[in-house]
């Protein structure tokens, strides 16, 4: 769609809103229709929320929730330590190499040629495997992207979008525990499983422990530092490239070193946290290095108290961040955004919207049988801000109701600006974390409020 045409449409929507006395900002302020600047801060919504600072669940209750999530098959969250330690590598490789070529995929703007998929199949089928193999246990050492196939490029669903990868599955944070099955034929990729997803990651982003005992010991510490900023970076180093300016995304959890004193790469630890950072040795084995995280970084010793105020504060730290399907470009999609945000409280959500909707005892379903008015009444009277709202293919965080409009913050790829039902439907692509209200429409013309069919209330 041409920019001029889009601008005219948005201005027409805003004129209509102004005539109905709804405060809006002009198109050039960079806000969605019916959103004010004041609404773009956590404090605005916290001040409107009763009991926003009350603790919703304590540590023991959160651990119980995590266990129930793992015990529910439909969430696809696994206890990696409880998995069978042996597997049939020959069978698994044959299954992975038997994929059908995805349809309508583009590589650098051109249809993906068959030889590209044939190469991927060969790379999988030549993995060094046997009928009986033993799992290896490791950790992610660099924020990485898990994909459905072992490949480096982006496979888009359009010929014009070079920043879209349809086969990306999820992002994995530094220090994420994984089990390692085997490596691709060229040795460049590892087939791994985290607690919430399985797929291929670059081999250089994973380090393998000596044994399961070492892997479990690393995870056993309760003294941790949690990254609560949307992303932080370590300080640069000329002598330690493995840690220099390393990126750590929100929800990353690192063990604190027992000894917080002493020099690290010629620096004292004063006004720094000393953490144990996972690193990969030249042979692919796991090790830990003491690293410094400055006290000015947005981090927290231990998990954050689980309160509505803290949930909203965390959500708004990502406002304006780019959208990243399946973690592409080291960014989040809608469910990845919620997953990393809730990790700051020690809550381990499933990976995608469907699996999150299977959380036991936490989900209101069958809302598609409600009218829009009934859904609005439910939101304004019974639903706590910070809860997750869903319709098929997307989810968002509920913020509250203002003047009869229901507001959310969400990481969204595409939408239709609020418009009359009879207006032409034109899809736009924010591809960012935004605040918007639920008269926003889907491509089908149905409003988000009408489409909402599930509400996930965590605790």
In terms of domains, do 141 and 105 share one? yes
Picking from 219, 236, 254, the residue at the C-terminal end of a domain is 219
Compute the distance between CA of residue 233 and CA of residue 247 in angstroms, rounded to an integer: 5
CATH classification of the domain holding 297: 2.30.30
Give the predicted TM-score (pTM) of the model: 0.91
Residue with tokens 């650098």: 108
* Residue-level pLDDT at 427: 86
Give the residue with greater pLDDT, 326 vs 425.
326
Lowest mean pLDDT among 42-56, 422-436, 443-457: 422-436
d(CA 177, CA 220): 12
Same domain for 179 and 276, yes or no, is no
| Structural domain includes residue 65 | no
Q: Are strands 155-156 and 106-107 parallel, antiparallel or unpaired?
A: antiparallel
**Mean pLDDT across 44-55:** 98
Q: What tens digit of pLDDT does each residue of 215-231 get? A: 999 999 999 999 999 99
Average pLDDT (254-262) is 90
Least confident range from 4-13, 54-63, 395-404, 417-426: namely 4-13
Q: Both 89 and 194 in a single domain?
A: yes
* Enclosing domain of residue 258: 224-301
Percentage of residues in the chain having pLDDT higher than 70: 92
Residues 178 and 214 grouped into a single domain: yes
Same domain, 133 and 230: no
Place of tokens 């941790």: 224
Question: Can you give the CATH number for the domain in which 445 is found?
Answer: 3.90.1720.10
d(CA 304, CA 318): 17
Whole-number pLDDT of residue 17: 33
Domain end point (choices 219, 236, 260): 219
Query: Looking at the domain assignment, is residue 74 inside a domain?
Result: no
Residue 102 above 70 pLDDT? Answer: yes
Q: What is the mean pLDDT of the chain?
A: 92
The pLDDT, as a whole number, for residue 1 is: 44
288-340 pLDDT tens trace? 999 999 999 999 999 999 999 999 999 999 999 999 999 999 999 999 999 99
Phi, psi of 116 (to 5 degrees): -65, -45
Q: Is the pLDDT of residue 361 over 60?
A: yes
Nearest of 376, 3, 324, 353 to residue 147 by alpha carbon: 324
Looking at residue 27, what is its pLDDT? 44
Q: Identify whether residues 241 and 195 lie together within a single domain.
A: no
Separation between Cα atoms, residue 342 and residue 351, nearest integer Å? 12
Same domain, 452 and 312: yes
Indicate the burial class of 281 (C-beta count within 10 angstroms; 0-12, 13-18, 19 or more).
Answer: exposed
Judge whether 46 lies within some domain.
yes
**Tokens representing residue 208 in the block:** 């393998």
Within this chain, do residues 188 and 237 fall inside the same structural domain, yes or no? no
At residue 259, the pLDDT reads 86
Q: Are residues 400 and 376 in the same domain?
A: yes
pLDDT at 262 (0 to 100): 77
134 exposure class (CB count in 10 Å sphere: 0-12, 13-18, 19+): exposed
Instruction: Indicate whether 64 belongs to any domain.
Output: no
Q: Is 21's pLDDT higher than 90?
A: no
Q: Given phi > 0 = left and psi -120 to 50 = alpha, else beta, which region is 362?
A: alpha
Arithmetic mean of pLDDT, 164-174: 97
**207 pLDDT more than 60:** yes
One domain for residues 289 and 241: yes
Instruction: Verify that 245 and 354 share a domain, yes or no.
Output: no
The more confidently predicted of residues 424 and 171 is: 171
Boundary of a domain, candidates 219, 249, 277: 219
DSSP 316-344: HTTTTPBB-GGGGGG-B-HHHHHHHHHHT
In the predicted model, is pLDDT for residue 53 greater than 90?
yes
Instruction: Give the pLDDT confidence score for residue 425 in this predicted structure.
Output: 74
Model confidence over 402-417: pLDDT tens digits?
A: 999 999 999 999 998 7
Are 245 and 196 in a shared domain? Answer: no
Q: How many domains does the chain have?
A: 3
Per-residue pLDDT band for 260 (boundaries 50, 70, 90) equals confident
Rounded average pLDDT over 244-264: 93
d(CA 353, CA 333): 10
Is residue 73 situated within a structural domain? no
The span from the CA of 82 to the CA of 179, in Å, is 11
* pLDDT band at residue 422 using 50, 70 and 90 as cut-offs: low
């Amino acid at each position: 769609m041409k920019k001029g045409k889009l601008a005219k449409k948005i201005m027409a929507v805003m004129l209509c809103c102004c005539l109905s006395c709804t405060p809006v900002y002009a198109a050039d302020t960079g806000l969605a229709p019916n959103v004010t600047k004041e609404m773009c801060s956590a404090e605005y919504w916290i001040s409107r929320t009763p009991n926003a600072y009350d603790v919703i669940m304590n540590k023991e209750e959160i651990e119980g929730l995590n266990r129930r999530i793992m015990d529910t098959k439909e969430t696809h969250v696994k206890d990696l330590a409880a998995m069978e330690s042996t597997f049939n590598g020959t069978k698994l490789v044959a299954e992975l190499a038997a994929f059908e070529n995805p349809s309508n995929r583009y590589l650098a703007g051109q249809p993906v040629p068959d030889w590209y998929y044939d190469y991927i199949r060969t790379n999988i089928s030549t993995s060094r495997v046997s009928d009986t193999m033993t799992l290896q246990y490791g950790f992610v050492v660099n924020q990485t992207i898990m994909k459905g196939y072992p490949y480096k490029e982006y496979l888009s669903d359009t010929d014009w979008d070079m920043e879209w990868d349809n086969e990306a599955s999820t992002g994995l944070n530094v220090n994420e525990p994984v089990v390692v099955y085997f490596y691709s034929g060229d040795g460049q990729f590892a087939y791994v499983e985290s607690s919430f997803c399985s797929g291929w990651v670059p081999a250089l982003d994973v380090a393998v422990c000596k044994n399961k005992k070492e892997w479990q010991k690393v995870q056993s510490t309760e003294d941790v530092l949690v990254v609560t900023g949307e992303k932080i970076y370590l300080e640069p180093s000329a002598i330690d490239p493995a840690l220099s300016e390393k990126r750590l995304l929100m929800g990353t959890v690192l063990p604190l070193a027992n000894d917080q004193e002493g020099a690290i790469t010629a620096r004292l630890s004063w006004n720094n946290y000393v953490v144990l950072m996972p690193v990969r040795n030249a042979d692919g084995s796991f090790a830990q290095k003491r690293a410094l995280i400055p006290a000015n970084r947005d981090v927290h010793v231990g998990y954050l108290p689980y309160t509505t105020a803290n949930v909203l504060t965390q959500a708004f730290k990502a406002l304006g961040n780019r959208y990243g399907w399946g973690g592409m470009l080291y960014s989040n999609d809608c469910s990845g955004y919620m997953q990393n945000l809730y990790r700051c409280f020690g809550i381990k959500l499933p990976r995608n919207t469907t699996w999150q909707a299977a959380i036991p005892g936490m989900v209101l379903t069958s809302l598609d049988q409600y009218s829009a008015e009934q859904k609005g009444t439910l939101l304004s009277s019974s639903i706590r801000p910070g809860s997750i709202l869903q319709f098929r293919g997307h989810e968002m965080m509920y913020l509250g109701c203002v003047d009869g409009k229901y507001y959310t913050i969400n990481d969204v790829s595409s939408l239709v600006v609020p418009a009359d039902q009879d207006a032409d439907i034109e899809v736009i692509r924010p591809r960012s974390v935004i605040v918007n209200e639920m008269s926003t429409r889907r491509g089908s013309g149905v409003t988000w409020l009408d489409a909402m069919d599930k509400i996930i209330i965590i605790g």
